[in-house]
Structure 1
Amino acid sequence: MNRTLPYKPQVFLLHYAGGDKNSFRQLIESLEPFFQVETPELPGRGDRMAESFLKNKQDAVADLLVQVRKARKKEVPYLIYGHSMGAILGHEICLAMEESMDAPGYFLPTGYPGPKIKNNPPIAGLPRTEFFTEVRQLGGLSDEIMEFEELLDFFEPILRADFGLLEDKENIPFDEKIKTPVFAVMGKNERYALNIRNWTHYTESECECQIVNGNHFFINQNFNYLAQVIKNLMNTSMAKS
């Protein structure tokens, strides 16, 4: 990243279910010396706590896309990173940005094996005990949060809303190929980790996939690794342009 630019390159971090703009705090701290870090967030949490939750995936993509376009500085290259729900939504955001002639240099999805792999039954409407049992099995919350009832009280409505928007029957299936190169990462203890090569079917460009130690929230112990991956991808992207 030695090229002279008017601003630092940008990286957009898309949060997971139950998350907000501060969900990647340690990763943000590692990236900020090198990037303009942008952290869009959905309504009903963080700085948007007073706003109503969204009901379906299309609305969530549209909401995040407005934030990405507003923050985007076209004078510099950028990447999109999304974990879990953020990876699901980020895939569609990449296509929309490509269609507006401002494609990201790379898409980095983590904690998600790509479309048409996961086949989990809906959980958003389950009673509390069953709901959190399923959330734990799906890796939807870190073990630290699961130990405190007060934190579960706080996160329950956000998690129900996020799982609900992903499970909504009105969602339009999305399985299109993007032109953006993909670098996908999953934790080896995740249920669908061995399906990670599925991402090769959803980009027309190169696709690299890695499996690292950890569960669905491997990102919390591997933020230095992720920061280095993002820096390497940006260097590669800028060398191609």
Structure 2
Amino acid sequence: MGTNTKSRWFVGASHDELKECALYAFPHAGAGVTAIRPLCLELADTYDAFAVRLPGRESRLEDPVETVMADLADKVAAELLRHAQGRPVVLYGHCAGSAIAYEVARRLDPVLVRALVVSSHPAPGSLRREPTWGLPRPEFLKQVVTDGYLPSVLLANEELLDIIEPALRADYELVEDYELALYEAGAVEPVAVPTVAVHGRDDHTVEAARIEAWAALTTGPFRMLSLPGGHDLPSSHPVELAAAVREALAEG
């Protein structure tokens, strides 16, 4: 990795040399580093690229999960500031990870945040959805499949579901409660950083208008990108997504 700072929160995909800017990528609900690593590898020629590993998954399976957005964002922001070593950062979030990336951006000095990039997730506070995280397993996992987080073929694998369901439920509680509170409050605090929102043209889980609604969450420049592909752009189209993000940030 491009920094000698060790952290259980971040897994590097960069070369040995220290780059001028660090990128931190937040995966979708219930996911770990594996889900976001293809994109990090594609961006590693431009940034010190790090996948964010949240508690309750992969090597952190035994760590207590986080279900309160403010608490999680506080912890990640503090870890990230130490890890970045004073360099400017790009925050990227995919699907539910977009909401976490946004909240982390709110906690950082805008001077340090070169850009916030989000994909495949409605702007927080832009729509109301009743929480599903407390539903019984069949109903809850049906919603997870509908949201594009879980292939339906995995529903028959009870052993695997026993492993991944706790992190999924925790992330759903984290994001659903947070976004419902924002919607009911009727106001969201924008960040003063350039923001890029990405939508897959074949993504049937979220309307393009909900992606465009991220424009209201920044006082900086905003750009929306529409790419070929469905919901899971970081895994299915990492080359195209990386090229689009790199170009958008270069143009400012």
Alignment TM-score, normalising by the size of structure 2: 0.81
- Runs of 4 or more consecutive aligned structure 1 residues displaced over 6 Å after TM superposition: none
Give the one of 159, 179, 188 matched to 1:175.
Answer: 188
Amino acid at match of 1:82: G
Equivalent pair of 1:56/1:171 in contact (CA under 8 Å): no
**Structure 1 Cα separation of the partners of residues 236 and 83 of structure 2:** 28
Opposite residue 138 of structure 2, the aligned amino acid is T
Name the counterpart of 1:161.
170
1:187 is matched by which residue type in structure 2? G
| Alignment of 1:82 onto 2:93 | yes
Give distance in 2, aligned partners of 1:132 and 1:232.
37
Q: Which residue of 2 aligns with 1:184?
A: 197
Task: Report the 3-state secondary structure (helix = DSSP H, G, I; strand = E; otherwise coil) of the residue aligned with 1:204.
Answer: coil
What SS does the aligned partner of 2:40 have? helix
8 Å contact from structure 1 (residues 80, 108) kept in 2: yes
Which segments of 5 or more consecutive residues in structure 1 lack a partner in the other structure? none
Task: Name the CA shift for 1:194/1:147 in 2 (closer, same or farther; >3 Å).
Answer: farther
Query: What RMSD over aligned residues (CA atoms) do the two structures have, in Å?
Result: 2.5
Counterpart-to-counterpart distance in 2, 1:215 and 1:146? 21
**What are the superposed Cα offsets for residues 196-238 of structure 1, whole Å, 9 maximum, x if unpaired?**
221121111111112333332233211111211232244345x
Query: Structure 2 CA distance, aligned partners of 1:29 and 1:170?
Result: 31
CA distance in 1 between counterparts of 2:23 and 2:160 reads: 29
Judging changes above 3 Å, is the alpha-carbon distance between structure 1 residues 143 and 9 closer, same or farther for their aligned structure 2 residues? farther
**For the residues of structure 2 that align with 1:193 and 1:82, how far apart are their CA atoms?**
17
Structure 1 Cα separation of the partners of residues 200 and 145 of structure 2: 15
Structure 2 residues not aligned, in runs of 5+: 1-16
Instruction: State the distance in 2 between where 1:150 and 1:23 align.
Output: 20
Which runs of structure 2 are paired with 1:17-56 in the superposition (5 Å)?
17-56=29-68
Q: Deviations over 1:94-139 (max 9, x none)?
A: 12112xx543111101111212223222111111111111111122
AA of the residue aligned to 1:24 = I
The alpha-carbon deviation at position 56 of structure 1 amounts to: 1.0
Tell me, what secondary structure is at the counterpart of 2:169?
Answer: helix
- For 2:32 and 2:67, locate their aligned partners in 1 and report how far apart those are by CA, in whole Å: 17
Aligned pair partner of 2:232 in 217, 228, 235 = 217
For 1:62, the equivalent position in structure 2 comes to 74
Paired-residue identity, %? 25
Question: Which of 151, 163, 166 is 2:160 aligned to?
Answer: 151
DSSP 3-state at the match of 1:24: helix
Q: What CA distance in whole angstroms lies between the structure 2 residues aligned with 1:13 and 1:198?
A: 21
Q: Is 2:124–2:179's contact at 8 Å kept on the other side of the alignment?
A: no
C-alpha distance in 1, partners of 2:20/2:42? 14
Which stretch shows the higher mean deviation, 84-93 or 135-144? 135-144
Q: 1:38 to 1:233 in 2, by over 3 A?
A: same
Structure 2 contact 26–36 (Cα < 8 Å) conserved: no
* Distance in structure 1 (CA, Å) of the matches to 2:89 and 2:251: 12
Question: What TM-score do the two structures reach when normalised by structure 1?
Answer: 0.84
- 1:113 is aligned to 122
Distance 2:227 2:127 in 1: 19
The answer to whether the aligner puts 1:73 opposite 2:85 as a matched pair is yes
